[in-house]
Every structure is written in structure tokens, then in C-alpha cells.
Amino acid sequence: MKAGFPREGSMNRLQIIILAVLAAMAAGTGAQETAPLKLVATIPLPGLKDGDFDHFTPDVDGHRIFLTAEQNGKVQIFDTNTNKLIHTIEDLKAPHAILYRADMKKLFIVDGDDSAVKVYDSDSYQISGQIKVAIDADSIAYDPATKYLYVVAGGREAHTPYSLISVIDTDTSKKLRDIKINSNHVEAIVLEKSGPRMFCNITGLNAVGVLDRNKSALQATWPLPAGDKQNVAMALDEGNHRLFVVTRDPGKLVVLNSDNGKVVASLPAVGLVDDMSYDAQRKRIYLAGDQFVDVFEQKDADHYALLAKIPGSFRAKTGTLVPGWNRYYLAVPHHENHEAEVRVYEVQP
């Protein structure tokens, strides 16, 4: 039989399969091209054992990024031009958050299990002092106007029914005072720039606390919707008066009016979120959680939609957006046969 093309209107089974595969490949390629995050580098971390990371902090002008390997007791420093690990600070118990002050060339590292904020030279990485705080110190917020660092501490590990937000003057490396919160579990805190308010996740009450940081007093407590529990991550869109809160039980993104605490939106989200970044330029919200990074689109102040679910990894819940570099960083912990790594993504239009 003479070989030739099939008659018009007919198609054999092999051709159908080939066309289906090509269509799937084309769809996949299109999805990758339009995804909001594009993987551009992976930095292996073979020296780490199982255990969570906690937070990133960038040195934008110096092209470095710092990462706390909380359960490995290390802080790892990366060159963001070469995407390589360049140094590890090892003399820590459980590092959580970091403040980098470029003007002083200092790192303020919260070491929760050692009840201290430890101060390091950011060039030599040598310790120069410490400020004692309550045990289980964790989340921070920094006010560049006053140079004050706010540190969440105490509560569960301190075996007290209350938590503290310690106020530290980073110019003098001295603790000024403690703000008492009547819950044994407080998580993320954010500061507004246009006024004196500070918001915190009062996780033990499934609520958001509003404080006047000039008066060091709790002004209001905004309960989350019934059934929404374990609020950990938080971010603020000050221009639109919107406060973003993520719960773990169940996984949800809850959007509040930052003037009055009213819920304006609530959407299902990835579980176990620990870090959230708001992209003011592209009107996106990035949530790092277990197995995925969820990217939400802010259509306007009251309307939000899931834009993409970027594949993550087991307990890869530490991530940060660095707008000046157009990069998003995700820390992936060691798990079974998969070594720890940092994934570097380019933010797409």
C-alpha cells in the first residue's frame, strides 16, 4: 500500500495521541511563561539537617541575603549576585528574625532559646554584644524613624499567661521597656508608617491586636471570624488601609480594614504559612506554606483572587520578596533524601 497522508476528515489513533501530547506541552509552556514566579537558581545547603528555617533579611545595597536556619542553630549568608553561600554564623541556639542596619554595619539576631537579641558586625560576622529578653523571642518589627526594634517574647516557653513585646533602642543596644499582651501566644507584628499604630497577631486569642507604640498600650482587639485559628503571618497595605492575616486552621487569607478591623475578604490558602510578602508594585500577595507558594492578586482593595500555586516543598514556609532585586526567595528544609536548599525566583510581570 502506498504511503501517504490520511484522508481529509480522518485521523488515526497515533496522530490523536501525538496531538494531545503537543497540546499539553504547549499548555504547560504557556503556564510556565505566565506564572508570577520563575525559578532562576537553586542554592544547595548540604550541611544542614532536618529542621525549619524561620526568616530572610536582605542587604539590598551589599547584594547579600541572610537566612535563619532556626532548628540547625545557624544563620546563613548568601551572595545574591553569584547565588552562593558565603558564610555561616554557627554560635546560636535558635535564631529567628534578623534586623540588618546598614548604617551601623550591624546585625541584630533574635536567638529565642538563649533569651537574647545578639549583635554582630555585619562584615566580620563577629559578635559584639547582646540584649537580654524573655525566652522564646521570635518575631520583630523595626521603626527606622526612632531606630526602635520591637521583639515578641515570652508566653508559652516562659510558662506565663501573657506575652511581651520588648522595645529595644538599636542605637544604644539597650532594652527600653516591655509591652504586656494578655495571651501566651503572639506572632507577627507590623508597623504603620503614617501613624503610631502597631498590629500584632494575638494567636492565642485568634485575634489581631492594635497598639499605640508611643503609649505602649493595647488600643483594640479584633477577633477573627469564628473558626479561623492560628493566625501567624501578617502584612500591611497601608495605602489601601488593608491588613492581611493568614491562618493555619484552616489555611486562609483574611483581609481586614486596618481602620476598624472589619473583614473585607476571606479566601482558602496553602497550609502552615509562616511568611507573607505584599508586592505593592504588582498588587500581589505571596504566601509561603507547606508544598506551595500561593500568589494572590489584589484586584482592588476589596477583591482578591488566587493567581497561582507555585510548587514548593515539605515545610518550605519561609519566603520573602525583595522588590529592589525583582526576586523572591524560598527556603526548603532538609527532608528524607532531599537536601536543604534556597530557591531563587524572578518575579514575572
Q: What is the pLDDT of residues 238-251, one digit of tens each?
A: 999 999 999 999 99
Cell of 257: 480594614
Contact at 8 Å (CB) between 163 and 143? no
Q: Which helix (H) or strand (E) holds 26?
A: helix 13-34
User: In angstroms, rounded to a whole number, what is the distance separating the alpha carbons of residues 347 and 110?
Assistant: 29
pLDDT of residue 25: 42
Work out the mean pLDDT of the chain and round it to a whole number. 92
pLDDT tens sequence across 316-337: 999 999 999 999 999 999 999 9
With respect to CATH, is domain 91-223 assigned 2.130.10.10? Answer: yes
Q: Is residue 98 pLDDT above 60, yes or no?
A: yes
CB burial of residue 264 (10 Å; 0-12, 13-18, 19+) = middle
Q: Is residue 256 pLDDT above 70, yes or no?
A: yes
Q: Which residues contact 271 (CB under 8 A, 6 or more apart)?
A: 248, 250, 251, 289, 290
| Neighbour count for residue 109 (Cβ, 10 Å) | 25
Region 128-144 average pLDDT:
97
Residue 33 binned pLDDT confidence (cut-offs 50, 70, 90): low
Which among 267, 141, 275 has a CA at the least distance from the CA of 209? 141
pLDDT of residue 6: 37
Q: What is the CA radius of gyration of the chain?
A: 23
Q: Which residues contact 303 (CB under 8 A, 6 or more apart)?
A: 265
Residue 34 binned pLDDT confidence (cut-offs 50, 70, 90): confident
pLDDT of residue 3: 35
- Most distant CA atoms of the chain, gap in Å: 93
pLDDT of residue 14: 44
pLDDT of residue 77: 98
pLDDT tens sequence across 150-208: 999 999 999 999 999 999 999 999 999 999 999 999 999 999 999 999 999 999 999 99
DSSP string, 176-233: EEEEEESSS----EEE-SSSSEEEEEEGGGTEEEEEETTTTEEEEEEEPPTT-EEEEE
For the chain, give the percent of residues with pLDDT over 90.
89
Q: Where are the domains of the chain?
A: 91-223
User: In angstroms, rounded to a whole number, what is the distance separating the alpha carbons of residues 245 and 86?
Assistant: 34
Q: Is the model more confident about 25 or about 81? A: 81
User: In angstroms, rounded to a whole number, what is the distance separating the alpha carbons of residues 265 and 257?
Assistant: 9
Region 114-120 average pLDDT:
98
User: What does residue 282 show for φ and ψ, rounded to 5 degrees?
Assistant: -100, 0
Residue 21 binned pLDDT confidence (cut-offs 50, 70, 90): very low
